[in-house]
Amino acid sequence: MSIRFALLALAACVALSPGATAADDAPFFDVNRPAPPTPGLAIGARAPAFDLVDQDGRRVSLDSVLGRGPVAVVFFRSADWCAYCKLQLVQLQQHLPEIEAAGAQVVGISFDTPEILHRFAAARISYRLLSDTGSRTIDAFGVRNPEAPEWSEGVARHATFILDRDGTIRAKLFKVSYAQQAAVDELLVALRTASSPPAK
């Protein structure tokens, strides 16, 4: 496949992806108006507990994840039909050594079934992708896309929450791609900051 064809296919997929919004991708705001609030729980809020099944059928709770250090909770649309999501997940895998060197970890959450996540993750992803088929965790974090069509009802917006070991949200990121080093650096800085006590 040529690079040009791949880029055209990616652009087409983005155009057809359900409920694509400015908050999901690179936002452009009118400078004469205040920026709209970012979706999801606020920085400083406590992350809601979850207990979900990963791509290998194992149950994963928020407490078990936080026991290993700060975590980036990455919500994505689908590992089945969303090309941007697949790209993001693979890029995060490529930067996993840097993330783990910062004493942190990554988990992904979508409304995909465990079977879909397993099919995508096989030989590609070593971190945990969690299935939230009822969208309860997606709703608890406040990132359900209300504009999604009926066939993808319950799909999440693109959003990353950086949690410290106490489960407090220390940062929110809305990067779809981690191809650029600046985006990776932003993620790493947020995770390292979450490793230190919050400012008083």
Here the tokens at position 10 are 């990616």
d(CA 63, CA 41): 18
DSSP state for residue 117 in the 8-state scheme: H
Question: Exactly one of 85, 106, 109, 125 is catalytic; which is it?
Answer: 85
13 is catalytic: no
**156 CB-near residues (< 8 Å, 6+ apart):** 75, 76, 77, 109, 110, 111, 132, 135, 138, 143, 144, 145
Cα separations in angstroms, 77 against 113, 153, 194: 12, 11, 25
3-state secondary structure of 94: helix
Inter-residue contact 129 to 106 (CB < 8 Å): no
Q: How far is CA 73 from the centre of its chain?
A: 6
The two beta strands, 71-75 and 169-173, are unpaired
Count CB neighbours of 23 within 10 A: 17
What is the set of active-site residues?
85
